[in-house]
Every structure is written in C-alpha cells, then in structure tokens.
A = this chain, B = another copy of it.
Amino acid sequence: MSKKVAIGVDIGGTLTKVGIVDREGNLYANTSFSTTMHQEFGDYLDELKQQIETLRGQLDFEHEVLGTGVGAPNANYYRGTIEHAANLLWKGIIPFVNEMKARFDVPTYITNDANAAAIGEMIYGKAADMKDFMVITLGTGLGSGIVSNGELIYGHDSQAGELGHVVIDPNGRYTGLGRRGGLEAYVSSTGLKRTVYFLLADRMDDSILRDVAYNDLHGEMIMDAAEKGDPIAQAAFDMTGRILGEQLANFTTFSHPEAYFLLGGLAKAGKWIFEPTQTHLEKNLLPFYQGKVKLLPSGMLDKNAAVLGAAALVWKQHEG
C-alpha cells in the first residue's frame, strides 16, 4: 500500500524550504533554495516543481501526495494568492494556487506562516485535543495564529491574526507603516534588541552589551549575556516578558484560549522569556480566567516548524 504524504513549502524572503511529511510528522526528505533566484514567478514555480520531484525521487517507498501546503507572507487563504508582499520579488497579486494547478495534479493550499504554525500545532504539536488556542511566533516580528471552535480564524478577508500590530502605546516605538507602538516593536527578536538599546540608554549599569554595535547584536548574544548575569540582558528579557504577559492577558478577553504556544527564535530563550511572561500573564488576567490559561512552548519548537506547519494545511483540509 502506498503511503500518503503531504508537501510542505515555506516561502521566506531569503529561503524557500520544502519537505515531504506524513500524517505523523515524519519528515522524509527536505531541502531549501533561494527564493530570490528567480525574478519571474513562473520560473520560481518551475524550480519549486523540480525540487519537489527531486525530493520525491529520494523516497524509497511507494507514496501518494495528497496535496501541497504553503506558508508565505501576505498569503490570502480564500483567494489562494500572495498579495503585495514587501519581502518578495513578485509584486502585485500573485495567483499562487492557480499557477500551481497548472503544474501539479494535487491541490495546493496557502496561508501565512503563523496561521500554518497554528494548524501545525493541531496536527503535529500539542493542540490535537484543543478547540481554542493561539500560537504566537516570535521571530523578526510577532505573528499569530488563532484557533476558536476548532477552526482557524481567517476573518472576513483572510487577514485575521495580525496581533504583532496591536498598538500597545500610541506614543510608543516606531513600527513601520508610519505607525507607532505596535506590539512587535517590543515583543520579537528585534523588539528584544531594541529593548536592550533602550535600557543601555536609560540605565547606567555595566553590561557586556555596551561593547556590541546594534547591527552586530542578535538574540543568542542577549541570551548568553543573561545567562552570565548581565543586568541589562536580564532586564531586557523581563521587560519583553512583562509586555507579552500583559498583552496575552488582554488577548484572553477576546477568545479565551486554553493555551498560548510560543514558537520562533525568541521562544527558544526558554526561562528567560517564559518566566516573566507567565508571571505577568497570570497577574493581569481577570479573576475568572486565573489558573485557566496555559503558556507553553510550541510542540513544534524543536522541529522543522515552517515545513511541518505548511504540510499540516493539507491534513487539516483532508480531515475537515
């Protein structure tokens, strides 16, 4: 009997990651290639097709591909498009799913990476038995995938779950798009770094981070510094976790999730981010939510979350 598999594709500004995954989350083959290698979208898709065929050739068992799931910036799930993505070469509205149809005889589903991560949490992670939860991805920005009543919330035009843009302070940090105070300017790998620089300006403590230029500073250095007892690094994590905890408490008044799952580079900082977040989440919850909302590392944190999340779209579609 041939084994059923799904193709997962994660399209980033720099790299496209591709893998073949089964229902249990086994990743049988995977690769990546430069997203910017092809100026023309058609050439890119031809490349993607060839990469997928190469991966399939590596499988030493009979298999049936059920579909292709794609995580991409500015993806519109309803229309199957990528629309005005600032981080990609292809401008305007790219009819992704339709163009895939011309090349593959299996269906393609597309959404943004945080939504794919939420579906991945249901299919491969820790949310298999949950009807109400959120995945918060903490990378360069803050992404979110929200599941209520067992279904991903896409919203009226597939743009729900943009919690990185919640304005937490109208006079706060610049956030891009001419705006100020968006959550991701504080809570993300970039936000953590900005907070280090805010604290270096605000406080007078010695810190090993005073020897690092902004463009050289990255999250792992801040975590290493925190581990070594650096007061600025530790305070930066505390402030990041406090703001995240306060905002997760706010988000709870919206959809009352059973759990928040943290994913992405900053989530890998472990206790440095989880402990202050947990403290300030619980402290800021309304009394009737207290003790009822879990904060957990994503079940995908040590896996190829991007490819698995994308592949999960296919299983979710098949299982309704």
Contacts and interface: CB of A to CB of B under 8 A. Distances in A.
A78 B148 CA distance: 15
Contacts of A258: 156
A165 B253 CA distance: 7
A163 B254 contact: yes
Given A159-B289, A288-B159, A255 B167 contact: no
B257 A155 contact: yes
B132 A255 contact: no
A170 interface: yes
A167 B280 CA distance: 13
A233 B165 CA distance: 32
A8 interface: no
Contact of A166 (B132, B146, B253): B253
A292 interface: yes
A97 to B, nearest CB: 19
A149 interface: yes
B148 A153 contact: yes
Interface residues on A, range: 35 or more
Contact of A160 (B148, B156, B284): B148
A246 B167 contact: yes
Contacts of A255: 146, 153, 155, 160, 254-255
A246 B146 CA distance: 21
A259 to B, nearest CB: 8
B163 A253 contact: yes
Contact of A156 (B177, B257, B287): B257
Contacts of A158: 256
A80 to B, nearest CB: 17
B153 A151 contact: no
A140 interface: no
